[in-house]
Amino acid sequence: MPFARGRRLWSGAVLGVCLLLAFTGVAAAEPPARPGPDGLAALAALPPKMACAELTGLRLRDVTITSATVAGTNCEVRGTIAPASTIVLRLPVQGWTQRYVQTGCGGLCGSANINYGQASGCPPVTDGTVASATTDMGHQGQNDGSWALNNPQAQIDFAYRSVHLTAETAKAIIKRFYGRSPAYSYFTGCSDGGREALMEAQRYPDDFDGIAAGAPANNMAVQNTFHHAWNVVANLDGDGRYILLAGKLPLIHQAVLNACDGLDGLRDGQLDDPRRCDFDPSTLVCGAGQDPATCLSAAEAAVVRRLHDGAVDEHGNRLEPEIAHEWGSELDWTLFVPAAQGQPVASESFALSYLRYLAAPNAQNPDYQLSDLKFTVDSFWKTVRSSSYLAAMDPDLGAFQRAGGKLLLWHGWSDQHISPQSTLAYWDATRKAMGGAKVDSFARLYLFPGMAHCGGGDGPNTTDVLTPVMAWVESGKQPDRIVAANATRTRPVYPYPTVARYDGTGSIDDAANFVPYTPGKEPGPGYEWVGQRLYSSGYQTWCEAIDGKLVCHR
């Protein structure tokens, strides 16, 4: 049975190892008991070997521990990894079950707060027996990108360094505090936390035994430039005024449901696979004498189409994967569709933060405006090449797979921030690079109908993505259905491409009344777009801060 990183197997050879350890004075780890029904190993709860406050005197290279205090049932440790990465650890003082969980950080980060997100329902998390940590990724407070100005080391720390060093530092502190290293180490994160998760699997495959990566912003150089900028400029007229306002979004959403809700055999207010929906916004264009509140102008309908389809140049070349916003997600388009003229939208902030400070790391421009971004193929390549160090798009996860790592990718179909097509494109690229059978041996993808960005939305939007990863790592129990819930409904979600189908009996709001169904053919678009080749092992770069500049190489 696998136990620790390296997947040691317990066999008759253990006797000789234990005897050797006994004579050398090193404590031997006890083999774990048989896993429970949930697939989690029955690991002994270990007490600390030292007082919480004593951790402030711990000496680790490039690490300063600033405080260690008991807060409730945890020893909360705060510190800094040089030069400026804040870390926070939470160490159980009443019994640690030998698991380490590192959580990701969202947006452009800047604050170190342990947030389990869709892993909050995991039993070792809820019972408080896991050791946890997170980092602010090398800067504090500013989530607008300005922290990167003339600070190449902060850019590297945000890209990949801080998360990796936090894993190494946390494990070292755990070993000192409990006298033993974690039996299993896990990472869970969503949005940029999902990018961090994939970055770990790609660049540091030995850091974690299992990873849950949600709605990953792994294609950040496109996501935070052309995608979010298009959300804004696609809705502006020649005078710079918004064409579509948020008051029309419920009307559009209801029309989508009227057209497509029954395609999965059940009218339940959610689209199980929005790619099957062929909604035409022009059907909402006002007829003669029709009340404008009940329909769209031709210009508004054109905006809806542009927002759904995604960024293109004047020749129709796709500057992001097709379908930027899935049908059924319209109620959450308030992220980029304002309620009134003059109201700022979040998408503009996301794009400007990146374009001003990260898109050209050695030629930053705090005065950059969205009007400066050209939606051309030439502009596309200039933008994505200069910030490839932030990408987590390498589809070859062979090193992670060979180390025995397990990956659970997940995304909400109604995500208004990051298109699920981005994750599907990465999944497709990974299977092409490694082969479907090999990918299936260590990875699963889950797509949650009606779920918005990392949660929320009209569909069941709360779930537990970490326990299936733990069970797969600790006992080999392969993930199957995951149940998601909201206030009124539970639904099963199966590994892609399998979907849930109502069995015809009982409440449609009870997950027990659904069975798996695998379509014979996957619907929807392919993944042919200008940046398709970014999903390769040759795109990512490693960087150094030299003489105040970011110097990168493959």
Confidence of residue 4 (pLDDT cuts 50, 70, 90): very low
- What pLDDT shows up at residue 36? 79
Residue 23 lies in a domain: no
Direct distance between the N- and C-terminal alpha carbons of the chain, in angstroms, rounded to an integer: 38
Q: What φ, ψ does residue 43 adopt, rounded to 5°? A: -90, 140
Nearest residue to 425 via CA among 264, 263, 192, 222: 222
Task: From residue 420, give the alpha-carbon distance in Å to each of 212, 248, 321, 406.
Answer: 16, 24, 10, 21
Mean pLDDT over residues 95-107, rounded? 96
* Largest separation between any pair of C-alpha atoms in the chain: 93
Q: Which helix (H) or strand (E) holds 214?
A: strand 210-214
Residue 289: helix, strand or coil by DSSP?
coil
Q: In the predicted model, what is the mean pLDDT of residues 95-110?
A: 95
Domain region containing 294: 32-554
> What is the pTM assigned to this prediction?
0.93
The CA-CA-CA angle for residues 147, 149, 150, to 5°, reads 125
Task: Tell me whether residue 191 is in a domain.
Answer: yes
- Note the pLDDT of residue 342: 93
Whole-number Å distance between alpha carbons of 541 and 72: 43
Nearest to 109 by CA among 166, 150, 64: 166
Q: How deeply is 232 buried, as exposed, middle or buried, from its count of CB atoms within 10 A (0-12, 13-18, 19+)?
A: buried
16 inside domain = no
Position 473 scores a pLDDT of 98
Residue 222 lies in a domain: yes
Binning pLDDT at 50, 70 and 90, where does residue 33 land?
A: low
Q: 6 falls in which pLDDT band (50, 70, 90)?
A: very low
Q: Is residue 4 domain-resident?
A: no
Q: Tens of pLDDT along 261-283?
A: 999 999 999 999 999 999 999 99
**Residue 25 pLDDT more than 70?**
no
Do the beta carbons of residue 33 and residue 40 sit within 8 Å? no
Give tens-digit pLDDT for 158-215: 999 999 999 999 999 999 999 999 999 999 999 999 999 999 999 999 999 999 999 9
Length of the chain: 554
d(CA 16, CA 232): 66
Is residue 254 within a helix (H) or strand (E), and if so which, with residue range? helix 249-260
Return d(Cα 250, Cα 330) in angstroms, integer.
7
Return the structure tokens found at 254. 């209801």
For the segment 371-383, what is each residue's pLDDT rounded down to a tens digit?
A: 999 999 999 999 9
Q: What is the pLDDT of residue 27?
A: 40
pLDDT at position 510:
98
Least confident interval from 93-102, 240-249, 517-526: 517-526
Q: How many domains does the chain have?
A: 1
Do 113 and 63 meet the contact criterion of CB atoms below 8 Å apart?
A: no
Q: Which amino acid is at 363?
A: A
> Would you state the structure tokens that stand for residue 55, as one six-digit string?
């951790």
Report yes or no: 358 and 336 within 8 Å, Cβ to Cβ.
no
pLDDT at residue number 47: 97
Q: Is residue 7 part of a domain?
A: no
Q: What is the pLDDT of residue 141?
A: 80
Note whether residue 8 is domain-resident.
no
CA-to-CA dists, residue 388 to 174, 205, 537, angstroms: 34, 19, 11
Q: What is the pLDDT of residue 554?
A: 83
Beta-strand ranges (E) seen in 19-165 are: 63-71, 74-81, 85-92, 99-103, 131-135
Residue 83 Cα distances to 152, 200, 391, 412, 542, angstroms:
12, 21, 23, 36, 18
| φ, ψ of residue 238 in degrees (nearest 5) | -65, -20
**490 contact partners, CB below 8 Å, separation of at least 6:** 460, 483, 484, 509, 510, 511
Helices (H), ranges, 342-417: 346-357, 377-386, 398-402
- DSSP-derived pairing of the beta strands 99-103 and 85-92: unpaired
How does DSSP classify residue 96? B
What's the mean per-residue pLDDT of the chain?
Answer: 92
Residue 237 maps to a domain: yes
C-alpha span between 266 and 263 (Å, rounded): 7
Residue 490 main-chain phi, psi, to 5 deg = -120, 145
pLDDT per residue as tens digits for the range 325-369: 999 999 999 999 999 999 999 999 999 999 999 999 999 999 999
Query: Residue written as tokens 């030439």?
Result: 378
Confidence of residue 28 (pLDDT cuts 50, 70, 90): very low
DSSP per position, 138-205: T--S--SSGGGTT-HHHHHIIIIIHHHHHHHHHHHHHHHHHSS--SEEEEEEETHHHHHHHHHHHH-T
**Strand order from edge to edge, sheet including 63-71:** 63-71, 74-81, 85-92, 131-135, 99-103, 184-190, 210-214, 406-412, 443-448
pLDDT of the residue at 120 = 95
Contact 516, 501 (CB under 8 A): yes
User: Does 468 have pLDDT greater than 70?
Assistant: yes
